[in-house]
């Protein structure tokens, strides 16, 4: 449930679901997101410009010419969430090549964690991950939770350019860079699969919040010959 509602500036409302990050809280955030999305779609609430779910927060932005913070707050405080509003989660398998030229941080990660490179990859490939949210750049999925022994901080100096397709880990999370972008996550491989398709307007994302994602290893040859 929402623990606290406050304003983020004068044109957004900030719903705080607490400090913990887990699937239960995140599903609750997504239920609120879906509910408000329905209200917007059915024109039951006017002036909403964006709804942004994350691990344990929900930000609702609005057009200040149409509606104000107190009006949006009242609406959110007064509706009841229908159960099972989350759409059917999918199971998705992502190919990943972990050759040295793609696994940019595997060696340093192995030194930092004091685990062999092979064990890092095997541990990572051995688990199914939950998609908490998408964003930062178009379609980037934030997946979790990775095995406790693989958890570490971001790079001290973030990269100016992380190659498109890079699979990175930090703390309890894993993500996929859908575009070349600046970033500080520890890169352990790269996928040739298209995660964001801007030409598919209705369903541009391969991975959506709630989906289950696992990775499987491919060779460099398979990577280079990848054809969708």
Site residues (CB under 8 A) for other proteins?
Answer: 6-12, 14, 19, 21, 33, 40, 49-59, 61, 64-65, 68-69, 133-140, 142, 178-179, 181, 196, 198, 201, 204-205
Q: Which residue lies nearer to other proteins by CB, 115 or 138?
A: 138
CB of 215 to other proteins, least distance (A): 20
Dihedral angle sign, alpha carbons of residues 16, 177, 206, 212: negative
CB of 146 to other proteins, least distance (A): 15
CB of 116 to other proteins, least distance (A): 29
Hey, how many other C-beta atoms are within 10 angstroms of the C-beta on 149?
Answer: 12
Compute the distance between CA of residue 33 and CA of residue 40 in angstroms, rounded to an integer.
11
Q: Which residue lies nearer to other proteins by CB, 203 or 216?
A: 203
Query: Which two three-digit tokens encode residue 88?
Result: 């059917």
Q: Which residue lies nearer to other proteins by CB, 3 or 220?
A: 3
Q: Which residue lies nearer to other proteins by CB, 106 or 211?
A: 211
Helix 23-41 and helix 69-78, axial crossing angle in degrees, nearest 10:
110
Partners of 183 in the β-ladder: 159
Hey, how many other C-beta atoms are within 10 angstroms of the C-beta on 18?
Answer: 15
């Amino acid at each position: 449930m929402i623990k606290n509602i406050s304003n983020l500036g004068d044109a957004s409302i900030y719903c705080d679901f607490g400090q913990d990050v887990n699937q239960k809280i995140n599903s609750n955030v997504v239920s609120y997101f879906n509910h408000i999305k329905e209200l917007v779609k059915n024109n039951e609430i006017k002036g909403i410009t964006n709804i942004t779910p994350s691990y344990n927060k929900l930000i609702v932005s609005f057009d200040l010419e149409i509606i104000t913070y107190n009006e949006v707050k009242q609406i959110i405080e007064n509706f009841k969430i229908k159960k099972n509003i989350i759409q059917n989660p999918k199971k998705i398998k992502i190919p990943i090549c972990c050759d040295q030229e793609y696994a940019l941080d595997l060696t340093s990660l192995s030194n930092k964690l004091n685990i062999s490179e092979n064990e890092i990859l095997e541990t990572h490939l051995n688990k199914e991950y939950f998609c908490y949210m998408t964003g930062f750049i178009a379609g980037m999925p934030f997946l979790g939770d990775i095995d406790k022994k693989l958890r570490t901080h971001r790079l001290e100096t973030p990269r100016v350019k992380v190659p498109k397709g890079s699979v990175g880990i930090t703390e309890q999370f894993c993500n996929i860079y859908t575009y070349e972008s600046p970033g500080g996550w520890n890169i352990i491989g790269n996928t040739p699969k298209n995660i964001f398709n801007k030409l598919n307007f209705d369903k541009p994302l391969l991975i959506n919040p709630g989906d289950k994602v696992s990775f499987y290893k491919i060779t460099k040859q398979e990577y280079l010959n990848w054809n969708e």
